[in-house]
Structure formats: structure tokens, C-alpha cells
Amino acid sequence: MFKARLLSGIVLVAAAIALVTAGGDILLLGLMLVSLIGQFELYRIFHIERTLVGAIGYLGTVLYYLSLRVSFLPGFEIFVLGLLVLLMAAYVFSFPKYKADQVFAGFAGVFYVSVMLAGIYQARELPTGAYFVWLIFLCSWGCDTCAYCVGVLIGKHKMAPKLSPKKSIEGAAGGCVGAALLTLLYGGLFQRQMGLSEGEVALLAGIAAVGALISMVGDLAASAIKRNYEVKDYGKLIPGHGGVLDRFDSVIFTAPIIYYLGRFLM
């Protein structure tokens, strides 16, 4: 299991590096595919993955990603309202085929998975996004790695015993500090390329610590959904890791935060 997890992790990191480095349409299409797979995994829990409600959700994802490349939607609010109206139309005209929680899961899935994950593409498209976008992964995967190492070494106090018994308060603190230090190092190396002052690099490190905390919320939120519906993993696509949502649960939460931070700083 460890060998499979390690090998698939290496492949996953290599794929992420290739997509993010390429940027542009390649990254956009790659993220759209990942989002659709993640949506499918989430919808499967609610038994709507191959239904009209699910199809509307997938359509919403495709339209949203295409709008990031070619702006054709009148506004984000129109997109939200249009998606909700379509889902409610499917709900009422096929009543009682769907339950209310399935319809709302179809609606929320577009934003929980696709819109939030699209923050990676949006961050990459910033003026210095080729460098700035990697902060997303430092805050999420960097935090995961540091939290795991510190938790194994000195973790004693459980952070959320009912959701994730192996996670400790010490590990969480180590994850936040680790993410901040990694960002400080990264910001120092690419300070000139990102056009940041020393004070702004220090600010990024502080934000990374907060981003690490938010990534843990994303991780635990994904675990909570699985506990509620008594599933072990969202899927089996990534050997040793589970599904897309099992691996990207923390990235989903950090991506939009880093994107909006980038817009504010740049």
C-alpha cells in the first residue's frame, strides 16, 4: 500500500507540475476534467451521478470553465441563478423522482468542486501567476506533509477524533508552521519575479499559515461528508489515495483564497 501510495503520489505531483507549468488552455482543460471527475465522485454519494440533476451539474461546470476562457456569461450571479432554476425545474417536473437533498447536492457540487478548484487556473493567469500559483500547493500539500511528519513524531492530542482520529493538534500546528516556512523560503527565492517587497514576502508567509488552517477545514469537511454517508473513499482512481476529492480536498479550499490574495497584492 505504501509503495502504491508513493508511486501514485509522484505521478500526481509530476502531472500537477506539468499542467500548472503549461498553464493556459492545457491547464484549463485539465482542471475541468479533474473537476468533472470530482463532481462525479461527490454525486455518486447522493446517487445522482447518472441522472438529469447530475447532467445539469456537469453542464454547469463545463459552462463555467469555458466562461473563464471566453467570457460569454452576463455575470456570475446570472450563472448561479440559471443553474438553480434549471435544477429546480428538473426537481419539480420529475417529482417525486428526486429528493430535495439530491437537488441541492447537485447545485452545491458545482461550487464546492469546480468553481473553487478553478482558482488554480485563475491564480495561474495573474501577471506573475507562473510563480504565485504554487503557493496553493505549498499551503495544502505542504501543510499535509508537515502535519503528518510532526503528528507522527510528537502528536498526542486529537484534533477531531470523530472525523479523523489520526490528526493531532501538534500536527496541525506543525502543518501551519511548515507551510509558512516553505512559503517564506519560496517567496525569498522568487521575490524579484513576483515583484514583492520583503514585507510582502513575510505577509505571504503569514497568509500561508492561515491558508494551511483553511486547507485542514477542507480536509475535515471532505471527511465529514464521507462519515455522514458511510463511505471510506470518494473513489479508487488514485491508488493509495482514493479519488480526486480524497487528494484535492484541501486544495479545493486554498485555491480561491490564494487567487484572491494574488489579486489583492498584484
Q: List, for residues 240-264, the tens digit of each pLDDT value.
A: 667 889 888 889 999 998 898 878 7
Whether the pLDDT of residue 223 is over 70: the answer is: yes
pLDDT in tens, 14-36: 888 899 999 999 999 999 999 99
Q: What is the DSSP letter of 242?
A: B
Please tell me the predicted confidence (pLDDT) of residue 6: 66
Instruction: Pick the more confident residue, 5 or 140.
Output: 140
For residue 96, cis peptide bond before it (omega within 30 degrees of 0): yes
Comparing CA positions, the residue from 159, 120, 158, 112 lying closest to residue 137 is 120
Please tell me the predicted confidence (pLDDT) of residue 33: 96
- The grid cell for 74 is 452576463
**How sure is the predictor about 128, in pLDDT bands with cuts at 50, 70 and 90?**
confident
Whether the pLDDT of residue 220 is over 80: the answer is: yes
17 with 252: CB under 8 angstroms? no
Residues 77 and 84: their CA atoms lie apart, in Å, by: 11
Whether the full predicted model's pTM is greater than 0.85, yes or no, is: yes
CA angle (259 as vertex; 122, 189 as ends), nearest 5: 105
- Reduced to 3 states (helix: H, G, I; strand: E, B; else coil), residue 236 is coil
- The grid cell for 210 is 492561515
CB atoms within 10 A of CB 168: 22
Residues 194 and 181: their CA atoms lie apart, in Å, by: 18
Domains of the chain, by residue range, sit at: 2-265
Alpha helices (runs of H) in the chain, residue ranges in sequence order = 2-22, 24-45, 52-69, 76-93, 100-109, 116-117, 119-124, 129-132, 134-154, 169-189, 191-194, 198-228, 244-265
Mean pLDDT of 85-104: 96
Backbone φ/ψ region at 173: left (φ over 0), alpha (ψ -120 to 50), beta: alpha
pLDDT in tens, 197-209: 888 888 888 888 8
- The grid cell for 232 is 471510506
Mean pLDDT of 70-85: 91
Whether the pLDDT of residue 2 is over 70: the answer is: no
Mean pLDDT of 179-203: 88
Residues 164 and 148: their CA atoms lie apart, in Å, by: 12
Whether the pLDDT of residue 5 is over 70: the answer is: no
Please tell me the predicted confidence (pLDDT) of residue 1: 54
Comparing CA positions, the residue from 96, 71, 31, 64 lying closest to residue 56 is 64
Torsion 33-34-35-41 (CA) sign = positive
Please tell me the predicted confidence (pLDDT) of residue 82: 96
Whether the pLDDT of residue 4 is over 70: the answer is: no
- The grid cell for 68 is 473563464
